[in-house]
């Protein structure tokens, strides 16, 4: 039967409204309310307490590992220090000169060395002998052949430390390459220690999150928290010694490596996870592990977006229901695309250019608007969740010190927008973010400098 024009218009509007409602229903699963974020913070705080307790530490998803770093920089540190940053198929050797007094400064010089394929596939002893040879080459290059300098060693694996220079590698969340390195390196870590003693007096093992905090602590004495939200994610902070049951002693403070990426492994985040989070987790190398990290870190956000776009397309809500083969490829939607698309500065024409790169040549302006909204929602949730964890950390520091109001600085590698969530969930904490400069290099040297200062002061 024939319809008049107004009837057709009304029908079309109803269809558009229905499509929009369907889109928002999916996106709403990725939006978190204030009540939900407060619950995440509460559960996070509980796991922190469990991680610090000797009785519940093994069962806690957040391990709260002692780092044996007992102080942040106070400005009196001085001297020349070496830093070794090992990770991937290359490593850096750095000479860091720390000057105190009125001309307080940190100057760095570095050289990057590759690890040849035959050494990567060889024995641990061969690897560490290669590292020692490169350190010797670097000292000669700097005109310091035979010099004896303290060393900070950044090792890119999760470690349970027993002292500032003793450590046990934890076998969770390692990539295939890291596992390979672990298998042939761990039994001969003492080879590296023994070999290095011909060059250095003092050695410290450095966690990059702690290095981030120490680098910023040198610039701002109020910096007592380190935060990394990049490819991976983690946090550290200065905890009261009497709360750390895993080590002896009640006086002073010690930096705790939170290892917060594992939060959720005991089911704490289950009710906040969407079908897209479950898909990402199921297809990861370690299903069920690092659940918090999989919701907030750069390694996984692009994959969450890709799964949302595939769902929208399958429902006919996007790209006219036609999906490209490239978009079906796992990992094809890089997190850098998410950051670029959600940026307010990026025009719709540039968004379409990114979509065309993904094989979506027939995408429309409306498609670009929706993709931009998906990216914004996913990025916002990540910032809120990391903000909830950070709120738990700074609020614990405030409660530890019996303060009504805490003013504190957080050293960060990349500043994500957690400010609004922090103000909402931890209103009694005034938090300032400070961008870190080379936490794994400069930070390693500063931890060693602080260790030397404390040693010279006659402290443990």
Q: How far is CA 191 from CA 129, 131, 155, 250, 338, in A?
A: 8, 11, 15, 34, 44
Residue 206 sits at φ, ψ, to 5 deg, of -120, 130
Token pair listed for 116: 């040849």
Using CA atoms, how far apart are residues 298 and 335, in angstroms rounded to an integer?
6
Q: Provide the 10 A C-beta neighbour count for residue 279.
A: 18
Active site residue 208: yes
CA dihedral over 31, 45, 223, 428, signed as positive or negative:
positive
Residue pointed to by tokens 């002893």: 125
Secondary structure element (H or E) that encloses residue 170, with its range: none
Using CA atoms, how far apart are residues 141 and 112, in angstroms rounded to an integer?
12
CB of 317 closer than 8 Å to CB of 308: no
Candidates 43, 50, 70, 92; catalytic one: 92
Candidates 45, 156, 368, 386; catalytic one: 156
Candidates 208, 367, 395, 438; catalytic one: 208
> Helix/strand/coil (H, E, C) string of 179-230?
HHHHHHHHHHHHHHHHHHCCCCCCEEEECHHHHHHHHHHHHCCCEEEEEEEC
Our CA angle for 107, 69, 400, nearest 5°, is: 120
The 10 Å CB-count burial string (b at 16+, else e) for 104-129 is eebebeeeebebeeeebeeebebbbb
Token pair listed for 35: 């009540």
Residue 106 sits at φ, ψ, to 5 deg, of -130, 115
Q: Are strands 166-169 and 159-163 parallel, antiparallel or unpaired?
A: antiparallel
Catalytic residues: 92, 156, 208
């Amino acid at each position: 039967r024939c319809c008049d024009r107004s009837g057709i218009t009304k029908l079309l509007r109803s269809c558009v409204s229905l499509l929009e409602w369907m889109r928002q229903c999916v996106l709403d699963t990725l939006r978190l309310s204030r009540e939900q974020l407060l619950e995440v913070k509460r559960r996070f705080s509980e796991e922190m307490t469990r991680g610090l307790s000797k009785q519940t530490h093994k069962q806690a998803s957040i391990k709260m590992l002692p780092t044996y770093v007992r102080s942040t920089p106070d400005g009196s540190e001085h001297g020349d220090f070496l830093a070794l940053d090992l990770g991937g198929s290359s490593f850096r050797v750095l000479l860091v000169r720390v000057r105190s007094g009125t001309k307080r400064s940190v100057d760095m010089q570095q050289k990057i060395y590759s690890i040849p394929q035959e050494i990567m596939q060889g024995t641990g002893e061969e690897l560490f002998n290669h590292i020692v040879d490169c350190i010797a080459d670097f000292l000669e290059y700097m005109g310091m052949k035979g010099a004896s300098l303290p060393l900070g060693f950044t090792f890119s694996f999760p470690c349970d430390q027993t002292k500032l220079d003793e450590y046990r590698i934890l076998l969770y969340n390692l990539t295939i390459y890291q596992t390979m390195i672990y298998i042939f390196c761990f039994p001969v870590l003492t080879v590296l220690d023994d070999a290095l003693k011909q060059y250095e007096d003092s050695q410290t093992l450095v966690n990059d999150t702690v290095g981030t905090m120490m680098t910023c602590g040198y610039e701002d004495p109020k910096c007592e928290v380190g935060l990394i939200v990049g490819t991976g994610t983690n946090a550290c902070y200065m905890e009261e010694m009497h709360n750390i049951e895993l080590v002896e002693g009640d006086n002073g403070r010690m930096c705790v490596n939170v290892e917060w990426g594992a939060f959720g492994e005991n089911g704490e985040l289950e009710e906040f996870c969407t079908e897209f989070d479950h898909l990402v987790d199921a297809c990861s190398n370690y299903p069920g592990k690092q659940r918090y990290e999989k919701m907030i870190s750069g390694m996984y956000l692009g994959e969450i977006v890709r799964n949302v776009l595939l769902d929208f397309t399958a429902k006919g809500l996007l790209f006219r229901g036609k999906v490209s083969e490239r978009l079906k490829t796992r990992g094809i939607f890089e997190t850098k695309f998410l950051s670029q698309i959600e940026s307010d500065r990026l025009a719709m024409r540039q968004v379409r250019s990114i979509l065309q790169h993904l094989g979506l040549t027939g995408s429309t302006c409306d498609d670009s608007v929706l993709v931009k909204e998906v990216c914004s929602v996913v990025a916002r949730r990540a910032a809120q969740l990391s903000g909830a964890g950070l709120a738990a950390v700074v609020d614990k520091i405030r409660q530890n010190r019996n303060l009504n109001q805490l003013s504190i600085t957080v050293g960060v590698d990349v500043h994500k927008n957690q400010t609004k969530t922090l103000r909402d969930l931890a209103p009694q904490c005034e938090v300032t973010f400070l961008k870190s400069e080379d936490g794994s290099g400069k930070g390693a040297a500063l931890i060693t400098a602080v260790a030397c200062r404390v040693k010279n002061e006659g402290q443990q």
